[in-house]
Amino acid sequence: MTVRVRFAPSPTGYLHIGAARSALFNWLYARKVGGKFLLRIEDTDLQRSTEESTRSIIEGLEWIGLDYDEEIVFQSANAPKHRAAANRLLEEGKAYRDFTPKAQRDDANVKQGIAERARAHAAEGFDQRSNPFRDLPAEESNRRAAAGEPFAVRLKVPVEGVTKFDDIVYGPQERSYAEIEDLVLLRSEGNPLYNLSVVVDDIDMGITDVIRGQDHLTNTHKQVLLYQALGAPIPRFAHLPLILAPGQKKLSKRVHGKIVSLTTYRDEGFVPQAFRNFLALLGWSPASEPFAAGLVGPGEKAPVDEYVGEIMSKDELIRNFSLERVHRNPAIFNFEANNPKRWTDDKAIWMNAEYIRTALSFDELLPMVKAELKANKLWREEYDDDDREWFRKAVELIRHRFFTLKDFSSQGRAYFSDDFDFEESAVNKNLRKEPRLKELLPQLATKLESIEPFTMETAEAGLRAFADEAGVKAGLLINASRTMLTGQAVGPSMFEIFDILGRERSVTRLRSGVPWNQ
């Protein structure tokens, strides 16, 4: 049977990186086994669901390269099916009407209220099967319903027994019916609830493998009960460890802000391949090669030089992926809220840099750099045309020290525009500390103008000769030139900068008095 998996987010906000990771694992699994990856938007909570959020989910998946098969399913459109399923269970006596008036809950402390009630129940030896309407005769139930009395529909969970399932990640799971309440299927207003909707839709979509967050592990028992009541085959389940904040705290937008949203990474200049690679390694890892290949027997140490790298392309990720190697312990997303250098996980930033400088080919990198430059009005059409080779050379020169795509328009600005800012610290360090530079640099410019031909080598020879004549160290002129030409104290080799900027722009910038006049 063909594997069919789904990613089923509720569109109540940005796409959380934990959800994105779930989507990724579903997708990797589907691609690995030649199955189908489906997308279902769980928009049953009409108050909280927004179209904007749906859009951001779809954009997020597209950005990170997860393509889905078949049409998107909107859960709200299936409400009639969910109701029909509940009514069928009602008719078959597997569910019942609960005429207890709906309890009012204040949204502020729901969790706390639930815990308190549960504690009270436990203290008095509460029986989950104590609902007085559970065994109301059908005629009376029908009569009261017909009379317009509001009711919720609950599943009639048997008094004795256990639900069991084998989780691919967490192993065999068992839960006594005594631990499971008669869950509500339909609210008194007639709207289906989460567990019912999920199960009915998963059956409807022919889902064979349910891969989702570990927060649903105990819910699964309720869903197994529903599959059984509905007479449908039970899919395989694989629950994924949660992604937590430092200190093992829940990663939430309210306390952690934009760091949890996938789109943040797009907006902050992440390469999608890099972020996908990073995410894949959160809660999963490939078998290290010596073990995978059987090169190392039990008890033997794996030779270090056979370690499999962590930088994996889409195909490598798919080839190596397996649900069996997903971990059970939660992964911590490491970052420091008040440290701009570590606004997100170090390793994510490192991996992004790795993609920018080496993992990506120039052709793969080009469209991203282009988009970044365009967004900052630094793109010129000639880069795609007459200046194509120059542009390539410039990008190859600077990409090796960048961490995000944004660096191309900030640190890299001086390569693409004559209108760039001088960093105060660079000016102080490389220019102001030596007053003679104000005179020397224009003289250097004149010297460079006389050099024929103007190349990396001749520029270097010219500069060094000029330094000797002037009786200063070459390093002084080199560092000063870097600041004059790029506005910065750091960057590529100075002679490569001369070469890439060309004689005319180099000379003009050396003569500019701008940094001194600021």
Partner RNA sequence: GGCGCAUUGGUGUAGUUGGUUAACACGCUGCCCUCUCAAGGCAGAGAUCACGGGUUCGAGUCCCGUAUGCGCUACCA
Stretch 80-109 residues interacting with RNA (CB under 7 A): 98, 100-103, 105
- Residue 219 as a binder of RNA (CB under 7 A): the answer is yes
In this structure, which amino acid lies at residue 238? A
Q: Contact with RNA (CB under 7 A): which of 32, 50, 136, 181? A: 181
CB of 103 to RNA, least distance (A): 6
Q: Which two tokens stand for residue 113?
A: 């209220």
> Which CB sits closer to RNA, 275 or 379?
275
**DSSP codes, 219-231:** HHHHHHHHHHHHT
- Residue 146 as a binder of RNA (CB under 7 A): the answer is no
> Which CB sits closer to RNA, 130 or 518?
130
Q: Contact with RNA (CB under 7 A): which of 81, 187, 380, 438? A: 187
Q: Contact with RNA (CB under 7 A): which of 490, 502, 504, 513? A: 490
Stretch 374-413 residues interacting with RNA (CB under 7 A): 400-401
**DSSP codes, 96-138:** EEE-SPPPP--GGGHHHHHHHHHHHHHHTT--TT--TTTT--H
Residue with tokens 């990663």: 251
Q: Which two tokens stand for residue 436?
A: 């003679």
Q: Are 488 and 473 in contact (CB under 8 A)?
A: no
Closest CA to 75 of 168, 189, 196, 209: 196
Q: DSSP strand E in 183-252: where?
A: 184-186, 209-213, 236-240, 243-245, 249-250
CB of 1 to RNA, least distance (A): 27
Phi, psi of 185 (to 5 degrees): -95, -45
Q: Which two tokens stand for residue 475?
A: 């390093």
- Residue 175 as a binder of RNA (CB under 7 A): the answer is yes
Residue range at the interface with RNA (CB under 7 A); choices 59-67, 117-125, 229-237, 362-370: 117-125
CB of 47 to RNA, least distance (A): 9
Active-site residue set: 253
> Which CB sits closer to RNA, 35 or 56?
56
Maximum alpha-carbon separation in the chain: 110
- Residue 129 as a binder of RNA (CB under 7 A): the answer is no
143 burial class (0-12, 13-18, 19+ CB within 10 angstroms)? exposed
Grouping H, G, I as helix, E, B as strand and the rest as coil, residue 347 is: helix
- Residue 442 as a binder of RNA (CB under 7 A): the answer is no
CB of 370 to RNA, least distance (A): 22
> Which CB sits closer to RNA, 136 or 193?
193
Q: Contact with RNA (CB under 7 A): which of 56, 214, 277, 409? A: 214
Stretch 152-171 residues interacting with RNA (CB under 7 A): 152, 170-171
> Which CB sits closer to RNA, 38 or 282?
282
- Euclidean distance between CA atoms 64 and 263, whole angstroms: 10
Stretch 26-85 residues interacting with RNA (CB under 7 A): 42, 44-45, 48
> How many residues line the site for RNA (CB under 7 A)?
99
> Which CB sits closer to RNA, 293 or 375?
293
- Residue 471 as a binder of RNA (CB under 7 A): the answer is no
- Residue 424 as a binder of RNA (CB under 7 A): the answer is no
CB of 223 to RNA, least distance (A): 10
- Euclidean distance between CA atoms 384 and 400, whole angstroms: 21
- Euclidean distance between CA atoms 210 and 170, whole angstroms: 13
Stretch 264-283 residues interacting with RNA (CB under 7 A): 281-283
Residue range at the interface with RNA (CB under 7 A); choices 29-37, 312-320, 415-423, 476-484: 476-484
Closest CA to 168 of 288, 25, 276: 25
- Euclidean distance between CA atoms 449 and 360, whole angstroms: 37
CB of 144 to RNA, least distance (A): 13
- Euclidean distance between CA atoms 437 and 429, whole angstroms: 12
Radius of gyration of the chain (CA): 31
CB of 494 to RNA, least distance (A): 4
Q: What is the contact mask toward RNA in residues 228 to 267, using x (rule: CB under 7 A)?
A: --------------x-x-x-xxx-----------------
> Which CB sits closer to RNA, 34 or 132?
132
- Euclidean distance between CA atoms 251 and 261, whole angstroms: 10
Q: Which two tokens stand for residue 390?
A: 């120059």
Q: Which two tokens stand for residue 194?
A: 């989460």
Closest CA to 464 of 495, 492, 489: 495
Stretch 293-352 residues interacting with RNA (CB under 7 A): 296-299, 301-302, 304, 307, 310, 325, 327-332, 334, 345-347, 350
